Amino acid sequence: MQFGQSRKRDILTLLGLTLVGAAAATWPLDAIAQAPQLPEIGFLSSGSSAEFATFVGAFRQGMSEQRYVDGRDVSIIFRWADGKYDKLQTLANDLVGRKVKLIVASGGLISAQAALKATASIPILFVSGFDPVELGLVASLNRPGRNATGAWVLTTELLPKRLELLHNLGARIGTIGFLVNPKSVTAERDRKAAEEAKQQLRTFNASTEREITAAFELAAQEQVSAFVVTADPFFNTRRHQIVTLAACQGVPVIYPWREYVEAGGLMSYGAELTWGYNLVGRYAGRILGREQAKPGDLPVQLAATFKLVINLDTAKALGLNLEDVAPQLISLADETIEKGQVTACPQ
């Protein structure tokens, strides 16, 4: 059989592609072995993935502002303690063993302490509710000096203000319940700050879901008229439970973070946690990117804005007509929610 020149060229081309394809069949294993892996960031948290999803989103947004995108420029490895603080050190050690390039210590001081104990060289970024200098995380706010830096969102310092805001609800406020996690390293500081406010307080300790429920049940028996919840990461992961218990007992509660109010809580006063996570996201981009910034040279930034957020629908469910009994509280609010989630007591 005779072939024209054009036909011969087609056959040779086809044979060439076949040979190339056969050779390429052996490439993937070699290519995978040689392909550079994305640098890994460790995200260590005392909380849970569901309750901290908003904060993870703020962190990713901060990284993207520095042109660093998860899955494209970096891979985030998550380690969640789910409120079990005794797991944090093992999780931190695991991240160090993976040789991550950076650790985000999420969910309070206790996560940052575990990360610092695990490594003195890997950069650590934290969101702390307490003075990071006093607690030994950094040498100073402007010049942290070690391998850690981040955001300070203030919590204990705002307890007197939260107690004052509760009293703005009117004469119905008598004894105030004070919910504290005794396993928190800052529990004593919280108690001291509350005592200095010279209010009529009753402290309730809780470090498990069952103890949270027991605290609210005992408070009802003792006719506690209101509650202030401390800024413990464990409570933040159980905020839907706490908000539901408050609704069942018909007791007004003030919280440290707006996320409680969005879940149906009455009111919150504090900084925006998403601001802190956005900041450490930007810091992560600066450390890992072209700038190659050192955490010891990046100042710890202090939250400058604190918001009073009130859920008006929850107030009505509690029988509080705030426009009549606490108009001054409404005037102080930075934000009111009227169409937000309202938690009802299960029947």
Q: What one-character-per-residue DSSP string does 86-150 give?
A: GGHHHHHHHHHHTT-SEEEEESSHHHHHHHHHH-SSS-EEEEESS-TTTTTS-S-SS---SSEEE
- Per-position pLDDT tens, the chain of length 347: 444 554 444 444 444 444 444 444 444 545 444 446 899 999 999 989 998 999 999 999 999 999 999 999 999 999 999 988 999 999 999 999 999 999 999 998 899 999 999 999 999 999 998 899 988 999 999 999 889 999 999 998 899 999 999 988 876 788 999 999 998 888 888 888 888 876 788 999 999 999 999 999 999 999 999 999 999 989 998 999 999 999 999 999 999 999 999 999 999 999 999 999 999 999 999 999 888 999 999 999 999 999 999 999 999 999 888 877 788 888 899 999 976 555 556 54
Which of 225, 232, 278, 277 is CA-nearest to residue 255?
232
Sheet with 253-255, edge to edge strand ranges? 201-205, 176-180, 226-229, 253-255, 267-270, 307-311, 335-337
- pTM equals 0.84
- C-alpha 189/C-alpha 206 separation (Å) is 16
Cα-Cα-Cα-Cα torsion 195, 200, 202, 203, nearest 10 degrees, comes to: -20
Q: Which domains does the chain have, with CATH numbers?
A: 40-154+273-302 (3.40.50.2300), 156-270+306-337 (3.40.50.2300)
- C-alpha 287/C-alpha 90 separation (Å) is 25
- C-alpha 129/C-alpha 313 separation (Å) is 29
